[in-house]
Amino acid sequence: MKKKHPIVIAIDGTSASGKSTNAKLVAKALGFIYVDTGAMYRTLAWHCLSHRIDFHDAKAVATACRKWHTKLECVDGHVRLIVDSYFPEKEIRTVEVSMAVSMIAAVPKVRDWMKATQRDCIQFGNLVMEGRDIGTNVFPDTDYKYYLDAHLEERTKRRVAEGVNENLAARDQRDSQRAAAPLMIALGAKVINNSNMTSEQTSGLLIEDIKKRLKADGR
């Protein structure tokens, strides 16, 4: 009997649309591996800041991305990008990293490297992968594509509740207009606007739809 390929559930969306929270809930419910691709870009941003590499200099950032020593690890069902045997779990969530990450993510050579690395995550099995270009660029062939969004006011409120003041409108614009793998709704993706929904309601919708599709696919 032919072995079936691992399943990839792609969850894309705008900043503060609940991608991380819901992707974790879906992965836990289904017993899949969770992959936060945004954390990978944040790790590179932290690496550049730590080594005083100008994140406005695309060539310098691309060189840093090509030369840094990394490996993928799966710990407790979560994929991590380890740098020089270290996982900067807290360091990548600082305001400085948040300010740098969208510029670093716009560098085409960086996106090429990230795409290859994120595809390598398939080695760990069935994935729930969240980000901004999973369904359009990293795994465009998956049949399980979702796009989360919420009104700007609601997303800003969520960020403030996390203690972060970020210009989400500017971030959305940068992510949508970048030349390399811009933020957009993947062809065939199910769009969920969760402005007035709890995480449990959003993840419940996702899980119900995924289970229906898995059954239809004989999984």
Which has the closest alpha carbon to 211: 17, 64, 6, 7?
A: 7
Q: Are 79 and 121 in contact (CB under 8 A)?
A: yes
Where along the chain do its domains lie?
Answer: 8-211
What is the tally of helices (H) and strands (E) in the chain?
8, 7
Residue 177: CB atoms within 10 Å: 10
Architecture of the structural domain at 8-211: 3-Layer(aba) Sandwich (3.40)
Token pair belonging to 194: 């969760």
Q: What's the one-letter identity of residue 181?
A: A
Q: Are 209 and 190 in contact (CB under 8 A)?
A: yes
Q: Are 35 and 169 in contact (CB under 8 A)?
A: no
Q: Are 156 and 165 in contact (CB under 8 A)?
A: no
Question: The pTM is what?
Answer: 0.90
Q: Are 60 and 109 in contact (CB under 8 A)?
A: no
Rounded to an integer, what distance in angstroms lies between the CA atom of residue 4 and that of residue 145? 19
- Contacts of residue 127, defined as CB under 8 A and 6 or more positions apart, other chains included, come to 6, 7, 8, 9, 32, 33, 34, 35, 79, 121
DSSP 2: P
**For the segment 58-81, what is each residue's pLDDT rounded down to a tens digit?**
999 999 999 999 999 999 999 999
Each of the 219 residues of the chain gets a pLDDT tens digit; together they read 445 789 999 999 988 899 999 999 999 999 999 999 999 999 999 999 999 999 999 999 999 999 999 999 999 999 999 999 999 999 998 889 988 998 999 999 999 999 999 999 999 999 999 999 999 999 999 999 999 999 988 988 888 887 777 778 777 777 777 667 777 899 999 999 999 999 999 999 999 999 999 999 888
